[in-house]
A and B are shown apart, each in its own frame.
Chain A
């Protein structure tokens, strides 16, 4: 059984260390729509963290939790709409649905992590998909970041309804994205590649009145 299971998936490094350059989904948007610089007046700062490793984990919560705990040292969040992180905040796991979690790690780690997770999961009934190429992560900071979000999403982003450590998939402008709040001051948006340009331009437009700046 285990030999057979091992052959059912094709595990390969989606980003091998070669000369082929990789670009963020927003590379074209930066050229086309520009990058307003951060100034003294900026009340909102946008920062992209491109090329992170994104893995979608699917399966039973208990089985995945055991494996992830063994490999990463912290477990998958069991409560709906919650987010757990390691101590440095570099690696995070977010609840997406009752049998689905999003694992984000520093770029380059995802391949070895996926291999180790598959080893730890063995014959369990699960799926892991590397979606690193399909999405990117934006960070919003600044005292007007919440107001920018209020203009963009119907979801309640008031601190009472959206405490630190929460993450939801919701409507954003006329698109949708994953919105999460890893710390008191920072919001993270996980965008799909095909919506990245639209969302980027929306955020620039919505942030214009707060003199939004984009950090390189």
Chain B
């Protein structure tokens, strides 16, 4: 059993409260009409199956019912981090020990600037 930290509830919960929803960070093509069949097929059907660090989308189905991301090691099953939608992972295949702090801070600033209007409930 996993003990998963929900970044929205801000505490650890049992795995049975969650559902995995596949690979994370899959962006829908901005202009689907301009895609080739191959690009569209890749977007819809083809997923990575890495040995090692993998970013996954999960949902806290019983609980806050929010989607969030998990970085998990597919070999050891270790969960390296969980982070909210719109944020960038600290642990990647390139940085298996975690990105340096200053890079994380810079990415966070950039993401906040871009994501302000996407935040839920802010549009009043």
- Which residues of A line the B interface, CB within 8 A? 58-61, 63, 80-81, 96-100, 124-125, 154-155, 168-171, 176
**Contact, CB under 8 Å: A81 / B11:** yes
Quote the shortest CB–CB distance from B1 to chain A (angstroms).
9
**Residue in A closest to B60 when the chains form the complex, CB atoms:** A97
Query: Within 8 Å CB of B8, what residues of A?
Result: 80, 97-98
Residue B94 lies at the interface, judged by CB distance under 8 Å to chain A: no
**Contact, CB under 8 Å: A99 / B62:** no
Residue B123 lies at the interface, judged by CB distance under 8 Å to chain A: yes
Quote the shortest CB–CB distance from A162 to chain B (angstroms).
11
- 29 A-B residue pairs with CB within 8 Å: A58-B121, A59-B121, A60-B122, A60-B124, A61-B121, A80-B9, A80-B11, A96-B64, A97-B63, A97-B64, A97-B65, A97-B66, A98-B8, A98-B64, A98-B66, A98-B120, A98-B121, A124-B124, A125-B121, A125-B123, A154-B14, A155-B13, A155-B14, A169-B63, A170-B13, A170-B62, A171-B14, A171-B62, A176-B62
A-B interface contact total, Cβ < 8 Å: 53
Mark out the residues of chain B between 45 and 69 whose CB falls within 8 Å of any chain A CB in the assembled complex: 62-66
Q: What's the dominant secondary structure at chain B's contact region?
A: loop
**Residue in B closest to A79 when the chains form the complex, CB atoms:** B10
Query: Within 8 Å CB of B78, what residues of A?
Result: none
Query: Within 8 Å CB of A60, what residues of B?
Result: 120-122, 124
Which of B8, B13, B63, B121 has the most chain A CB atoms inside 10 A of its CB? Answer: B121
**Residue in B closest to A98 when the chains form the complex, CB atoms:** B8
User: Once bound together, how far apart are the Cα atoms of A124 and B63, in whole Å?
Assistant: 26
User: Once bound together, how far apart are the Cα atoms of A60 and B13, in whole Å?
Assistant: 25
**Residue in B closest to A154 when the chains form the complex, CB atoms:** B14
